[in-house]
Chain A
Amino acid sequence: MTPSRSIGDAMRLLAGRAGLSRELRLAHLRWALLARIVDDRLLTLYNSAQVPGNVFTSRGQEVLAAAMGVHLRAPGPGAIGDIFAPLIRDQAARLAFGETPLDVIRTHLGKVTGPMRGRDGNAHRGELAKGMLPMISHLGAMPSAVAGVLLARRLRGALAYPDSCIGITSIGDGGTATGALHEALNVIAIEKLPFVLVVANNQVSYSTFNDRSFACRDLVDRAIGYGLRGWSCDGTDAVDSLVAVGGAIAAARRGEGPQMVVASLLRLAGHGSHDDARYMPAELKARFGDGVELAQAAALAEGLIDQAGLDALLEELRALVRAAADTARGEANPDPERDDWRVLSTPDLLAMPGPTAEANP
């Protein structure tokens, strides 16, 4: 699949390809592979009825998501880091940003040890202290929340151009139809925030194809209408994804305003584990490759890694995920009798005003 690309995009790609280090390429490959292995393990757990609810895999979108993850900065001591609101097919980016396979599996199994403590599951997970906003199911809701974090940081003087923290989130072709996304992108452009939206056009919104989701020539055409800078890439190609997403993130860090990357790729699974995707036409499948397979082949062909090294890497990652699954399965479920069931942070509104904890210092 060759996405529509301007001369400027092509020149950026040529220049960007030369700037990709071997370390970055290998890190990217590692996160893409790990995401695929984590997803495979989640499906095994689902098929053995250990997952309450469904599993939503990133299959087909790992290369794009990994390109996001390797360019992000997690918060740490003395560093506020980026703010990232992943959606359901961003597994590779989550892992690269600091989420562990153990927490992924804990959340899918509903374990009290996971970041959501069994209160929310599958892809609705995050850790605010680690800069990762947990998504809600309603598509288009997260970009404005990311904008809120960035606005807060602007008010505190914490956006330090030309090397600022940034906010990033993704959405699919289906989610681009929401009014919430329209409202958010307009606000983000008005405020000129260091924000990146990655649109994964995986050709199908659950079972509805592009022709019933939008009518413009290319989703990237929308960027200029909002006042965003648009980038296009082949989301199955590691280099193309790294250059476009990396370029957009770098531009946002420099203070060049909000960016929008539209990646073309194909969802290589059903919407979720419950969906066999029999509605996917063969013609569409024939147009797109598997990014993970292509990335491995490219890494071997370019001499970034040899077959023995790749085999060892795969075995290391499988062992990591296997161990995480074994650990998570042995951990406790939440206890309804011991859960505090509190929905308000304030212990007693009848005692307010009074001494209150400093929320979110």
Chain B
Amino acid sequence: MTTSYVEAIRAALGDALRDDPRVFIYGQDIAGSFGGAFKATKGLSELHPERVINAPICEDAITGVAIGAAIDGMRPVIEFQFADFASIAFNQLVNHAATTFWRTGRPCPLVARLPMGGTKGSGPFHCQMPEAWLSHHPGLVVVAPATVADAYWMLRDAIACDDPVIFCEHKYLYNHLRETGDPRLAERLPLGAAVVRRAGSDCTLVSYSAMLHECLSAAGVLEQEHGVSVEVIDLRCVRPLDTATILESVAKTGRVVVATEAWPFGGIPAEVVAVIASEAFHLLDAPPRRVCAVDTPIPVQPDLYAAHRPHAADIVEAVLETVRF
């Protein structure tokens, strides 16, 4: 038996609806036989017709509704059809949800699911990575699972979390990533913890979401073809950052490359590098490097798109430059 990333998300939503009457799902095209643009909610409204609710196209109001329901004791999960459209809800997310606990002392336990990341042919408005601009605002937890097990358990824990959680799920992984077995039986790591996915000694490679798999692929090439031992860290949660796990690895390797599918300016890698530079400068044997997308909107034409997004080969090159510094 194998389970895909989107099946794990669907299982997490179904189990949460089954286990907790406070949970409801609200978003566009999620109910009925359609079951969501990516089928993450398919079949759930048949089991829970009162709690899987179709919304009109209104990301701001969807989020406002979730905020009100959360502070009144529910556990809303909202789905934006594409993460790109969360920009419509920016105000409610960063000014309302993120400030509620700090201003009032009342938790605001909502989960916003954001299908993010690039897929071929989707272009500037259906491929964006929202984690950096949402992470900038204090009061939001921002997670980006990279594995099937994490897709399941991090969503369960996001729903259980008393704070607003931005759940960034990668669209490419939905049906391309499969793991053996039932994710319910997989290891359940702490929601805020980074994890070492591959141990190594020459260079630390930090990433999250789909880019983790490019990093693991690069690490294999580096070991087999160049004799370079790379330690790969999956951040899992990008806000707050598990800095201890990052610094522990850098203390071992003295070199670090941070890879993302997102844009470079003000991104998660910039934050990771800043933490290392200020906390572990004395441990570094080479300048930290970033591998990011090209700093333009995301192109639709396949050749342009392939050149826009970092690949394992780009990561291999960056690691080699770092270890040869």
Where the two chains meet, the residues of A that have a C-beta atom closer than 8 Å to any C-beta of B are 83, 115-117, 119-120, 124, 126-129, 133-134, 136-138, 140-153, 155-156, 179-180, 183-184, 186-187, 190, 342-346, 348-353, 356-357, 359-361
Contact A151 B193 (CB under 8 A): no
The interface size of chain B toward A, counting residues with CB under 8 Å, comes to: 52
The residue that A180 contacts in the complex, of B64, B102, B107, with Cβ under 8 A, is B64
Contact B162 A346 (CB under 8 A): yes
A-B complex: 7 closest residue pairs judged by Cβ atoms: A148-B68, A349-B192, A144-B64, A183-B61, A183-B58, A145-B68, A148-B65
Segment touching A, from B7-15, B93-101, B113-121, B247-255:
B93-101
Contact B73 A134 (CB under 8 A): no
Q: Indicate whether B209 reaches chain A with its CB closer than 8 angstroms.
A: no
Which has the most chain B C-beta neighbours within 10 Å: A115, A142, A152? Answer: A152
In addition to A142-B64, A186-B58, A352-B161, 16 A-B residue pairs with Cβ atoms within 8 Å of each other are A116-B103, A144-B64, A144-B68, A151-B65, A151-B68, A155-B24, A183-B58, A343-B102, A343-B139, A344-B101, A345-B163, A346-B141, A349-B240, A350-B193, A353-B160, A359-B109
Q: Specify which chain A residues have a CB less than 8 angstroms from the CB of B67 in the assembled complex.
A: 144-145, 148
Rounded to whole angstroms, the CA-CA distance of A116 and B71 in the bound complex is 16
Given A144-B65, A152-B68, A184-B61, A349 and B101 contact (CB-CB distance below 8 Å)? no
Rounded to whole angstroms, the CA-CA distance of A133 and B102 in the bound complex is 14
Q: Specify which chain B residues have a CB less than 8 angstroms from the CB of A349 in the assembled complex.
A: 141, 161, 190-193, 237, 240
Q: Indicate whether B242 reaches chain A with its CB closer than 8 angstroms.
A: yes
The 30 sampled A-B contact pairs (Cβ below 8 Å) are A83-B68, A115-B104, A116-B104, A117-B105, A133-B71, A136-B95, A137-B95, A138-B91, A141-B95, A144-B68, A148-B64, A148-B66, A151-B69, A155-B24, A179-B60, A186-B56, A343-B102, A343-B139, A344-B101, A346-B162, A349-B193, A350-B242, A351-B190, A352-B157, A352-B161, A352-B191, A353-B160, A360-B73, A360-B109, A361-B73
- Chain B residues 210 to 265 lying within 8 A of chain A, measured CB to CB, are 237, 240, 242
Contact A143 B64 (CB under 8 A): yes
Q: Specify which chain A residues have a CB less than 8 angstroms from the CB of B106 in the assembled complex.
A: 128-129, 360
Contact A360 B72 (CB under 8 A): yes
Rounded to whole angstroms, the CA-CA distance of A350 and B190 in the bound complex is 5
Q: Specify which chain B residues have a CB less than 8 angstroms from the CB of A352 in the assembled complex.
A: 157, 160-161, 190-192
Nearest neighbor of B138 in chain A, beta-carbon distance? A343
Which has the most chain B C-beta neighbours within 10 Å: A129, A145, A146? Answer: A145
The residue that B107 contacts in the complex, of A83, A183, A186, A359, with Cβ under 8 A, is A359
Q: Specify which chain A residues have a CB less than 8 angstroms from the CB of B24 in the assembled complex.
A: 155
Q: Specify which chain B residues have a CB less than 8 angstroms from the CB of A151 in the assembled complex.
A: 65, 68-69
Q: Specify which chain A residues have a CB less than 8 angstroms from the CB of B64 in the assembled complex.
A: 141-145, 147-148, 180, 184
Rounded to whole angstroms, the CA-CA distance of A352 and B95 in the bound complex is 25
When A and B form their complex, what is the total count of cross-chain residue pairs whose Cβ atoms lie within 8 Å?
172
Given A116-B104, A343-B139, A359-B162, A149 and B91 contact (CB-CB distance below 8 Å)? no
The residue that B190 contacts in the complex, of A127, A353, A356, with Cβ under 8 A, is A353
Nearest neighbor of B68 in chain A, beta-carbon distance? A148
Q: Specify which chain A residues have a CB less than 8 angstroms from the CB of B139 in the assembled complex.
A: 343-344
Given A352-B192, A359-B109, A147 and B141 contact (CB-CB distance below 8 Å)? no
Rounded to whole angstroms, the CA-CA distance of A152 and B73 in the bound complex is 8
Least CB distance from A143 to B in Å reads 7
Q: Specify which chain B residues have a CB less than 8 angstroms from the CB of A155 in the assembled complex.
A: 24, 50-51, 69, 74
The residue that A149 contacts in the complex, of B68, B96, B103, B190, with Cβ under 8 A, is B68
Nearest neighbor of A178 in chain B, beta-carbon distance? B60
Least CB distance from B87 to A in Å reads 13
Q: Specify which chain A residues have a CB less than 8 angstroms from the CB of B157 in the assembled complex.
A: 352-353
Contact A134 B103 (CB under 8 A): yes
Given A136-B96, A351-B190, A149 and B240 contact (CB-CB distance below 8 Å)? no
Contact A149 B71 (CB under 8 A): yes
Least CB distance from A2 to B in Å reads 35
The residue that A145 contacts in the complex, of B65, B188, B193, with Cβ under 8 A, is B65
Rounded to whole angstroms, the CA-CA distance of A124 and B103 in the bound complex is 9
Q: Indicate whether B92 reaches chain A with its CB closer than 8 angstroms.
A: yes
Least CB distance from B158 to A in Å reads 10
Contact A187 B56 (CB under 8 A): yes
Given A136-B95, A141-B92, A147 and B191 contact (CB-CB distance below 8 Å)? no
Q: Specify which chain A residues have a CB less than 8 angstroms from the CB of B160 in the assembled complex.
A: 352-353, 356
Nearest neighbor of B157 in chain A, beta-carbon distance? A353
Contact B56 A353 (CB under 8 A): no
Least CB distance from B246 to A in Å reads 13
Contact B192 A180 (CB under 8 A): no
